[in-house]
Structure formats: C-alpha cells, structure tokens
Structure 1
C-alpha cells in the first residue's frame, strides 16, 4: 500500500449490517475517534448477501425439485435485500449527521467477505472499522469469521470493535 503524504485526508470505512453489533462499532468510532473523523472521509458500507434459495434450478436440479423457487421470487428477495441495505445506510448516515460527521454510504451485492475486501481496495480505504462478533470457539475452529478473512486479505489496518464497547445505540 502506498504511503499518503502527511496531513492528507484519510479514508475510513465502516461496515454495517442489521445487527446491533455493527451500530455499536459505528457509535464507538464516533465517540472515541472524533479527531480522526474531522480529518477523514468516512464511508458507510452495507453488504447485500445473496439469498440461499433457488439453487436447485441449476442444471438438472430443476427436474428433481420442480417446486424450487423461481427467478421472480429470487429477484424479489434481491430487491428486498437491497432496500434493507439502503435503509441501513440511511440509518447510519442519520446517526453520523446528529454527531456532525458527514459520511457517504453505499451498498453492494455479493459474498460479504469478497465485496468488503474489494470495496476497501477500490475506495483506497486507510482504516476499516468492523464489529467483532462473539462466536462459539468450536465453530471458529472450523469456520473462518468475516473479520478473520478481512484481516488476511485487506491491505489496510482494521479496527475490530467488541460489542460491549458501547452501552447505548441511537
């Protein structure tokens, strides 16, 4: 990653979803890194995961599962997911606006692990802020978490915020 000149604007990206944990991370950032935010460009990013339905229509699967979801249903679910993600962005923008922080917000569809890493790269992000979800240690042994994946694949510092760090969410 190339170094930016001293005093240049830094880019901070906050990843949100429908969970309270991500809003806790946003609130923690707004309360604890005020000075950084005054000198930074802040971006809110909401992911739109693909639905897990409709895969039986691929190839011969449709012959064996004729009642599988159709394309209209999948498109409807994708539209609903996009609307939810846009609403999440608006909620985060309003929280930031009440604190005097101007932000941009956007959303993309896809596998959250991949699209977060791609967005960080495309936008030249200098700091990625994410919620660190509590997880079952047994599950973590077999499944890599989103934050672990991002730590391995993102070329900027990542700030992981524990859910307990903030007491109240607006």
Structure 2
C-alpha cells in the first residue's frame, strides 16, 4: 500500500454493521494483517441507513411526527455507538487503537464516499454470504464496494 496523498501514512478502514460477519472481518484483519494494521491508522466506520417515514404516515397523517423522527434518530445513534464500542474493544484487546466514524445514508454509497474523503488505502468489509439470487434482489454492499471504492477492498467471508 502507498502512503496517503496527505502524507499521514497508511489508512485502513473496516466497515462495521450489526452482523456477525463484519466483526469477524475485523477480528480476521487484526489476526492476519496485524503488522499492516499496527503501522497504519485504523478507522472503524458504521453507516446508519436513513429511515423513510413517508410510506407509514403519508396516507393517514400527511407527515411523520417530529418526536417520532427524533426518537428513531436517537435510537440509531445509540446502536451506532454500541457497534463501534464493541469493535473498539476487539481492537483494544489486541493492543490496537482505532478511530471511529458514523455516517448516515445508503451503506454502499456512504462507505465508498468515506473511502474517498478520508483517502483510505485499504477497505476491509465482511461478506454476508448471500447467494446469487439474494444478491440480485437485495444487492451486496461488499460487491458494490469492490467495484466502486477508490482503493483495494478486502472482503472477508466467514467459512464453516
């Protein structure tokens, strides 16, 4: 990996979500890329999807109540912080200090945008192990990132 354009050294990002596979990817990276991680800036990123209330309230109430929106956003913030704290603890148990970032939006786009904005040299992401049919209908964040992120992407799949 080359040093970042800003001269800050290597930056490695691990995308974290609520799935077991993302935490497995982090653990795998710490175990198998320990030297690279130890000499790089490690960034843990979680993306909270935007919640669409229009379909729930549009026909009945016209718009979602402000307090409901605030409550959902506050809950999402707590979930994001808990995910990142768990990931930081995994890193700390291996003597690695990590920076955490939370973004909002479509995970595919937000991850790729963060890679570019932060000048990441390696993105590590877990694979949910979706089959071909599921990927066609649901999409695949890891597949999207492999094709659109502006850095190498390491997809870690948990094997049986």
The RMSD of aligned alpha carbons is 2.3
Shift of 1:143: 4.1
Matched residue, 1:43: 43
The alignment covers a number of residue pairs equal to 157
C-alpha separation between the residues in 1 aligned to 2:12 and 2:72?
Answer: 30
Matched residue, 1:168: none
TM-score under structure 1 length normalisation:
0.83
Out of 8-17 and 41-50, give the one that drifted further: 8-17
| Structure 1 alignment gaps of length 5 or more | 166-170
Matched residue, 1:119: 114
The list of structure 1 runs, each at least 4 consecutive aligned residues, that deviate by more than 6 angstroms after superposition, is: none
| Structure 2 alignment gaps of length 5 or more | none
Matched residue, 2:126: 131
Query: Larger C-alpha radius of gyration, 1 or 2?
Result: 1
Give matches, 1:150-165, under 5 Å. 150-164=145-159
C-alpha separation between the residues in 1 aligned to 2:61 and 2:47?
Answer: 31
Shift of 1:68: 6.5
* DSSP-derived class of the 2:135 partner: helix
TM-score under structure 2 length normalisation:
0.88
C-alpha separation between the residues in 1 aligned to 2:3 and 2:93?
Answer: 30
C-alpha separation between the residues in 2 aligned to 1:90 and 1:139?
Answer: 30
Shift of 1:20: 0.8
Shift of 1:114: 1.2
Retained in 2: the 8 A contact 1:86–1:106? no
1:85 to 67, 72, 80: 80
Retained in 2: the 8 A contact 1:56–1:65? no
